[in-house]
Amino acid sequence: MEPMTRTFAAFAAALLAIGGVFSGDNKAVQAPEPLPVVVVEARAATTTTTTLPVGARCPQWWDLAKSVGWQDSEMETLDYVIWRESRCETRAHNTTLNADGSTDIGLTQINDRSWCLPTRWYPSGYLQHLGVLSSVGCDGLFDPATNLKAAKAIHDYSKETNGNGFAPWKV
């Protein structure tokens, strides 16, 4: 037997021995269906960085404020409002200083009587009317995202009606 023929014979015998070409009853073995190809693409993580001014007092809330609609041009004043009103504390709750008995709630100290309690114009409350708060009452304003979203709605209302969005905070 020639070397090439011997090599082929040995290869064929090996395949038969391991069952790669024929099953036990000498029928051809069907190749399995091909598996779908899944391409996984790796991408670098992206991060957003906010450049803070030197005097920023509540920078931990800047990215959240921007995510609920505050503009870069409003951030320094908003930072001042948050610092002055709550010292950056989400649970700040003024229950004693308002002569009319109303209270101020959360980061931006939103007044309950003015913005989230029922009035004759907004029977469920102004912020509820806008969909910022889902139920009567103001407890949702202790949540920082809700408080900043509510403050943005109040800011925009004030800007539209009297030209100064920060007027409710006397800035």
For 136-148, the pLDDT digits (tens) are 889 999 999 999 9
Given a contact cutoff of 8 angstroms between Cβ atoms, the answer to whether 147 and 106 are in contact is yes
CATH of the domain at 93: 1.10.530.10
Q: Which domain holds residue 138?
A: 59-162
Predicted TM-score (pTM) above 0.75: no
Whether 74 is in a domain gets the answer: yes
Give me the number of domains the chain comprises: 1
Whether 170 is in a domain gets the answer: no
Whether 40 is in a domain gets the answer: no
Whether 43 is in a domain gets the answer: no
Whether 122 is in a domain gets the answer: yes
Tokens of 14: 């090996």
Whether 27 is in a domain gets the answer: no
pLDDT in tens, the chain (171 residues): 565 555 545 555 544 444 444 444 555 445 556 555 554 555 565 555 667 778 899 999 999 999 999 999 999 999 999 999 999 999 999 998 899 999 999 999 999 999 999 999 999 999 999 999 998 889 999 999 999 999 999 999 999 999 999 999 999
Closest CA relative to residue 146, chosen from 116, 123, 121: 116
Whether 103 is in a domain gets the answer: yes
Which pLDDT value is given to residue 66?
Answer: 98
Tokens of 1: 């037997």
Whether 3 is in a domain gets the answer: no
Which pLDDT value is given to residue 52?
Answer: 76
Burial (CB < 10 A; 0-12, 13-18, 19+), residue 149, is buried
